[in-house]
Amino acid sequence: MGREEVFETLNGVFRDVFDDETITVNDKTTADDIEDWDSLEHINLMAAVESEFGIKFSMGQIMTMKNVGEMVDIILQKI
């Protein structure tokens, strides 16, 4: 799977988790850009991403991920 495809799939996951069909994420997207992305939703989002890609993040990755770009880097390493 290429970077583009990962972003495409992530868009679907984000739209589903945050119940907002207008969300489009990119490398620089952070929790500040999406209204409902707080510390609670962060864990839900991680779980949704994990089940979508069939991977598992470590707690350290979950806590230190700075933006969607970093999330994609980690996903690409794992799939």
Provide the binding-site residues for another protein, judged by CB under 8 A.
19, 39-40, 43-44, 47, 58-60, 62-64
Give the DSSP per-residue string, 37-69.
Answer: -SHHHHHHHHHHHHHHHT----HHHHHH--SHH
CB of 4 to another protein, least distance (A): 28
The candidate with the shortest Cα–Cα distance to 11, out of 27, 20, 24, 2, is 24
The candidate with the shortest Cα–Cα distance to 17, out of 40, 6, 63, 57, is 40
Tell me whether residue 39 or residue 77 sits nearer to another protein (CB atom). Answer: 39
CB of 58 to another protein, least distance (A): 6
Tell me whether residue 11 or residue 50 sits nearer to another protein (CB atom). Answer: 50
Tell me whether residue 2 or residue 60 sits nearer to another protein (CB atom). Answer: 60
> Are the beta carbons of 38 and 27 closer than 8 angstroms?
no
CB of 47 to another protein, least distance (A): 6
